[in-house]
């Protein structure tokens, strides 16, 4: 496939761990031409073969260098215990991904952006407040407020969840195995989670090695994280928030828009739900078209 011919398998270090990535390079670059670059950060629990690949493959066709990578403890990247949904470690991974991009001769280091999908839509603006090498931020189906996701009951009563997390920590410290819960839980769940199962637990999921698990004591870190706490400080870095008009997480994109300072834009795609933007061309492609317009304006 033409996409694979433009892709390099790469690694870079993040806080001592080797992370695995796919670097997508545009065709037709002359030796002295440096391109704008985008670090593509996927959904919580996700791998580089999932939403990051869907967006990176389209961005590279538009002339961007695009980097998709597995966060620490996920996919082909190092780190134990596995499947640790740690927003703060993921922020460091993003900074180190940007550092990797600055080292590449193909990249114009003055024109680096970051795109976050779902949970990545919180990790990216959070990181870009401190990492001003990121010159523009875009999110799709963003989930910037993990704290409220938990306190609103996504995984049951959050007080019980915190007690479970701490007991799991103690058991692991005493020599026991790391404890996990399903990322996509069994049984009938909310409409949002049921829609998520239609992506993760069907052949729509392009990564056959993806694991349906979350480390139990990830949840106390997630409770501590909300990019809404810091997003007012993102300006003057421009911010684009893309969401579907029917997205279950649209209120989170709206909350981020309200708290952020200019320049900012909330762009709605009619009819889209949260998970439609993971892989469905009729939603991914208009999102990428808008991202391209945004980046050409601000990079």
Q: Which two tokens stand for residue 53?
A: 């690949």
Q: Which pLDDT score is estimated for 32?
A: 66
Could you tell me the mean pLDDT of each successive run of 10 residues in the chain, 299 residues long? 71 98 85 89 97 98 97 98 98 98 97 98 98 98 96 85 96 98 92 95 98 97 98 98 97 98 98 98 98 97
Domain parsing of the chain, residue ranges: 2-145+225-298
- Predicted TM-score (pTM) of this structure: 0.96
Q: Which pLDDT score is estimated for 4?
A: 47
- Specify the CATH superfamily of domain 2-145+225-298: Alpha/Beta hydrolase fold, catalytic domain (3.40.50.1820)
Q: Which pLDDT score is estimated for 1?
A: 39
Q: Give the Cα separation of 14 and 10 in Å (integer).
A: 13
Q: Which pLDDT score is estimated for 154?
A: 75
């Amino acid at each position: 496939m033409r996409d694979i011919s433009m892709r390099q398998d790469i690694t870079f270090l993040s806080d001592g761990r080797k992370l695995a990535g796919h670097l997508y390079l545009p065709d037709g670059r002359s030796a002295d031409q440096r391109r704008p670059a985008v670090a593509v950060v996927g959904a919580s629990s996700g791998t580089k073969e999932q939403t990051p690949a869907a967006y990176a493959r389209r961005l590279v066709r538009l002339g961007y260098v695009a980097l998709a990578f597995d966060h620490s403890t996920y996919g082909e990247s190092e780190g134990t215990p596995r499947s640790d949904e740690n927003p703060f470690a993921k922020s460091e991974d993003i900074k180190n991904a940007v550092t990797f991009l600055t080292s590449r001769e193909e990249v114009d280091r003055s024109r680096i952006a970051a795109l976050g999908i779902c949970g990545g839509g919180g990790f990216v603006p959070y990181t870009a407040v401190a990492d001003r090498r990121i010159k523009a931020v875009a999110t799709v189906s963003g989930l910037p407020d993990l704290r409220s996701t938990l306190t609103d009951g996504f995984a049951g009563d959050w007080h019980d969840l915190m007690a479970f997390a701490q007991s799991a920590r103690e058991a692991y410290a005493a020599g026991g195995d790391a404890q996990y819960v399903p990322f996509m839980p069994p049984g009938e769940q909310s409409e949002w989670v049921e829609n998520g199962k239609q992506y993760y637990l069907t052949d729509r999921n392009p990564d056959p090695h993806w694991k349906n698990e979350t480390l139990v004591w990830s949840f106390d870190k997630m409770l501590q994280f909300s990019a809404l706490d810091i997003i007012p400080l993102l300006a003057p870095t421009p911010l684009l928030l893309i969401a579907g008009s029917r997205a279950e997480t649209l209120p989170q994109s709206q909350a981020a828009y309200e708290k952020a300072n200019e320049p900012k834009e909330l762009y709605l795609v009619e009819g889209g739900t949260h998970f439609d933007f993971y892989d469905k061309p009729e939603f991914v492609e208009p999102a990428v078209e808008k991202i391209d317009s945004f980046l050409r304006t601000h990079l």
